[in-house]
């Protein structure tokens, strides 16, 4: 009887140990995935923070060598594959003409698949031009980003804006273009 009791104790201890090891491994995997998700979302966030701060090199650093940029839902222009410099050169013709801009993103849904990831988020861009009647123009929509690991770093390889609506003075964009010249 004593032998059977010892065997049962050993079996229970081993089973619990195995379950704890399995849970520990699952916890470690979850922590690794959450770290990757956080890193990926930081890359997307840095695109907008650097844009608002007019840190064009910082914006470019978040992009891969080529980026499929798609604002067709708002502009009507087809998506285009551009270099990071070409993107920021285009943005420089408008955004510095505003007194300030504020991009707010959130409600991230991020899916990681190995060295590639997809990020969906809501986005609101507020553009302010001082000394103008109706000095605010706001654009609201969502974004789809594809992000890939390139040389060990996560980089945006495509950025699609999904336009929902705008409010305020949409004529400010023309004044901002003039101001940026």
Read off the pLDDT of residues 13-60 as tens digits, 9 standing for 90 and up: 555 555 566 667 777 777 777 789 999 999 999 999 999 999 999 999
CA dist 47 and 62 (Å) reads: 6
Residues forming a β-bridge with 140: 124, 165
Domain boundaries defined on the chain: 2-180
The two beta strands, 63-70 and 80-82, are antiparallel
Quick check: 143 pLDDT over 90?
Answer: yes
pLDDT tens-digit map of 71-101: 999 999 999 999 999 999 999 999 999 999 9
Quick check: 4 pLDDT over 50?
Answer: no
pLDDT tens-digit map of 105-141: 999 999 999 999 999 999 999 999 998 788 999 999 9
Confidence label for 3 from pLDDT (cuts 50, 70 and 90)? very low
Structure tokens at 84: 């990071």
CA dist 112 and 117 (Å) reads: 4
Return the CATH architecture of domain 2-180.
Roll (3.10)
In terms of Cβ atoms closer than 10 Å to its own Cβ (0-12, 13-18, 19+), residue 25 is: exposed
CA dist 128 and 145 (Å) reads: 26
Coil, helix or strand at residue 152: coil
């Amino acid at each position: 009887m004593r032998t059977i009791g010892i065997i049962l104790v050993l079996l229970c201890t081993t089973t619990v140990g195995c379950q704890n090891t399995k849970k520990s491994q699952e916890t470690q995997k979850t922590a690794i995935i959450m770290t990757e998700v956080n890193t990926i979302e930081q890359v997307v966030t840095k695109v907008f923070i650097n844009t608002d701060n007019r840190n064009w090199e910082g914006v470019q650093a978040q992009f891969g060598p080529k980026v499929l940029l798609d604002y067709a839902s708002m502009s009507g222009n087809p998506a285009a594959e551009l270099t990071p410099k070409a993107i920021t050169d285009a943005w420089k013709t408008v955004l510095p003409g505003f007194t300030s801009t504020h991009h707010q993103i959130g409600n991230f849904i991020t899916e990681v698949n190995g060295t590639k990831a997809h990020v969906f988020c809501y986005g609101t861009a507020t553009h302010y031009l001082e000394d103008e009647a109706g000095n605010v123009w706001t654009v609201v929509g969502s974004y789809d980003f594809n992000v890939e690991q390139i040389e060990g770093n996560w980089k945006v390889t495509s950025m699609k804006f999904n336009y929902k609506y705008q409010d305020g003075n949409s004529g400010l964009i023309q004044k901002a273009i003039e101001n940026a010249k």
